[in-house]
Amino acid sequence: MKVVVAVKQVAVLGDEVEFTDDERDVDPDYLDYALNEWDTYATEEALRLCEAAGDGEVVVVSVGPEDAEEAMRRCLAMGAHRGIRVDSEDQLDPIQVARALAEVVRAENPDLVFAGVQSADAVQAATGTALAELLDLPRVAVVTKIELGDGKATVNRELEGGLLDVVEVDTPALFTIQTGINEPRYATLRAIKQAEEKEIDVRQPGDLGEPAYRVKKMFVPPKGEGAEMLNGNAADVAQKIKEIVEEHTG
Amino acid sequence: MSVLIVAEHLRGELRPVTLELVSAAQELEGPVAVAVIAKDPSVLTDAVDVEGVNEILSVKVDPEEFENDVYQQALEQLIEQREPQVTFLGFTVNSMGYGPAVAAKLGLGFASDVFSIDGTAGGLVATRAFYGSKVQAEVEFPGHDRVMLLLRPTAWPPAEGAGSAVKEEGSVSSSCSRARHKEFVDVATGDVDITTADFLLSIGRGVGDKENLPQFEGLAGKMGAILSVSRPLVDQGWMPNSRQVGQSGKTVKPKVYLALGISGAVQHLAGMKTSGTIIAVNSDPEAAIFNVAHYGAVADLFEVAEELEKLY
Ligand SMILES: Cc1cc2nc3c(=O)[nH]c(=O)nc-3n(C[C@H](O)[C@H](O)[C@H](O)COP(=O)(O)OP(=O)(O)OC[C@H]3O[C@@H](n4cnc5c(N)ncnc54)[C@H](O)[C@@H]3O)c2cc1C
Ligand SMILES: Nc1ncnc2c1ncn2[C@@H]1O[C@H](COP(=O)(O)O)[C@@H](O)[C@H]1O
């Protein structure tokens, strides 16, 4: 059993922001990085399926600069066996990322491919489904449960309002994994050390095609009427909250 | 610009996002066609015949409910046959399963979670959020004659008023469906109904630890509020999903919504942004929740909770 998991190192913006000179992106000095939350669940699910099968391999793949290997190492510390990074410094759209991933994933010939439902920084919910198309794989988006059968799987797809759609899907297939599907394990210190030794293969991307979109201008959202800010210490804030609650629930 | 909209429906009923897409399409001032892809489209065509729709395309397919291969095959053919400049889908779970696949296959310009559009500046410009909703950007689609946008639900009001659209049969051929709908399983009803509460005390990942929950349950009781939560608390099994506010939980509209330690992700806002009065406490002054809150405090939620305890 081989499962390939697409994982992204996402950017986290703190409480201050400046833009690059061309105003098309945030100045990287204001960004921190982390493994995308959805991808920890996808990695965990892949590990569990392999463990249940008794043998197997979990391969994490990512498109990004060398720094992105930090996110991949977290997955390796959870137990993923090896990684492949497609080297790119550029801000890519989801379809370009899918193109960059397609080549390496196809070559792995996996039984299942996982992506997260969405990346926390870009919220596109698009890369996994685009990748499935490029690989010509059946796919289900927003999966909260997987049961493997013979040549098929039965999965829950979580719709708006929490309604579950039970879907039977031919395998090999690609699933985009939703949070809550499992409880991701913590990596032990020892596992984190061992992960340093695991292999991350680096590849160069092929032609990624025309971008699906181009950022024209990035900005801080206009505050509109905005929230009226309650100032003072915690006691002042609590007092004001009490007054507002009384005024509006009365 | 000519627009093609794909209607979304579930269990025989049109979903509200469809009429919101019609409102958005009217901003582009071109002909608007709505495709109804269903086993029996005729039961839905009246519901989409609202002001602003020029044409309704009935596309008959085999499955009773949404299946992503079926929608993908139908939409690809409709786009190839009709060459709409813009295709609108809702930014919904169904669309996530086939929209990006169609865009990848046909090489369309593409953006998702779009909440504002402008077609007046020459080409199409769409606005969406980046970096955890803390910043926004206008994006454009150079080199693409055809663009697909997944539009954020509730960003536009639903179109209304009786329409006079031309009704046609769309003809598409379909091959196999590799991911097949079996059944729906409804969410279990919980101990309380958060949708009928006047006052919700809503807590998010900012509360940190499961051990802290009793404190907030106690505080809610004292304040006369019902406790609700954001999704991560349900994901971790701390609270039942009947208490979850948001797109995959409940839509609530209490008189007062007091949010402690909730960042304001789009899927959370979808469930509470029409609340009467929204008060948000968050230690991050740039948290997106402050964009929808009426009152905000940049503060430690535990300190504020402790002070509230003393007042009630
Ligand atoms: C298809 C789909 C459906 C979804 N449906 C839902 C849904 O129905 N409901 C939902 O909520 N989410 C939903 N989500 C998840 C959503 O995208 C976010 O991940 C989630 O809402 C984040 O929850 P949060 O704000 O509690 O956590 P976070 O985003 O982690 O925010 C925690 C906040 O707490 C603040 N904080 C931390 N410590 C303190 C402190 N001591 N004092 C004050 N503030 C503090 C932080 O500054 C931060 O802003 C869905 C996602 C997808 C993809
Ligand atoms: N640069 C990337 N490298 C690898 N996987 C990615 C990348 N960007 C997105 N993905 C995958 O696609 C999912 C959805 O991301 P998005 O479409 O950007 O919302 C993520 O959870 C990852 O699984």
How do residues B119-163 score in pLDDT, each as one tens digit?
Answer: 998 899 999 999 988 999 999 999 999 999 999 999 999 999 999
Query: Predicted ipTM?
Result: 0.97
- Token readout for B296 is 């905000």
From residue B131, give the alpha-carbon distance in Å to each of A212, B35, B60, B275: 19, 33, 40, 25
How do residues B225-265 score in pLDDT, each as one tens digit?
Answer: 999 999 999 999 999 999 999 999 999 999 999 999 999 99
How do residues A44-88 score in pLDDT, each as one tens digit?
Answer: 999 999 999 999 999 999 999 999 999 999 999 999 999 999 999
Residue A33 exposed, middle or buried by CB count within 10 Å (0-12, 13-18, 19+): middle
User: Is the Cβ pair A132, B182 closer than 8 Å?
Assistant: no
Spell out which residues of chain A touch residue B241, defining contact as CB-CB under 8 Å. Answer: 162
- Chain A contact present for B143, CB below 8 A: yes
**Is the distance from CB of A176 to CB of A141 less than 8 angstroms?**
yes
pTM equals: 0.97
Residue B200 three-state SS: strand
Find the B243 Cα to ligand 1 centroid distance in Å. 14
Find the B206 Cα to ligand 1 centroid distance in Å. 8
| Closest by CA position to B234, among listed B247, B218, B220, B221 | B247
